[in-house]
Amino acid sequence: MIDLKKLDEQRSAFAYYSHHLAYPEPGIFDEEFLRASFTPEDPGYRGAETYWKNMRKWSHAEVQEYYTATFDFEKSLTLYMTFAKFEDSKERGQMLARLKVMYEMYGLNMPKGELSDFLPLMCEFVHIGDWLEDERSRQSFALLFAVLEDGTFHLREALEKHDHPYLPLVKSLRRTLRSCVKEEEVSVQ
């Protein structure tokens, strides 16, 4: 079960993931953004900090080039969370439609030309969506988390094969997700 209150506490982390998994804009490696997004106690802090330290060693143009070479041309390193499981099947189309409806249900309009399983968009939805007090959120976020868990698992596996500098960031995201899941109580009879 998703702990919505814990997820709400992690909104700033999801803003960080959204910005850093999207095409790198100037000023993205500002230390203040890192510090505003995480406290040292947050489950994703260490991974985000490791990623941040590694990426600051490169020029902005190098980071952009590396991002494009990685996420735009490597099929196994896709940021589209349903692609690894469904590729271009009918089931993927249905999942994309379900995600789009969910976003719209909470007031987020999809950017034109973007697919609803794009990881930065999913993180942005968690960050800005008006979902905390909505009774539909528990069920909706079960779907969202299932897609994120599966997609980031495949992404992490592919990044590990390449010893990739985005790996600590994806691991950080996965730790943050896991921290927002609570075990359901099972009654023993």
Confidence of residue 184 (pLDDT cuts 50, 70, 90): low
Quote the number of domains for the chain.
Answer: 1
The pLDDT of residue 152 is above 80: yes
How large is the angle between the packed helices 167-179 and 137-161, nearest 10 degrees? 150
pLDDT at 39: 96
State the average pLDDT over residues 160-174: 94
Range of the domain at 28: 4-179
Is residue 151 in some structural domain?
yes
Percent of the chain with pLDDT over 90: 79
State the average pLDDT over residues 129-135: 92
Distance CA 166, CA 54 (A): 9
Distance CA 151, CA 119 (A): 9
Distance CA 172, CA 166 (A): 10
Nearest to 165 by CA among 36, 66, 17: 66
Is residue 185 in some structural domain?
no
pLDDT, tens only, 26-85: 988 989 999 999 999 999 999 999 999 999 999 999 999 999 999 998 888 999 999 988
pTM recorded for the entire structure: 0.92
Is residue 186 in some structural domain?
no
Is residue 187 in some structural domain?
no
Is residue 184 in some structural domain?
no
Residues 6+ apart with CB under 8 A from 19: 25, 28, 33, 120
Is residue 189 in some structural domain?
no
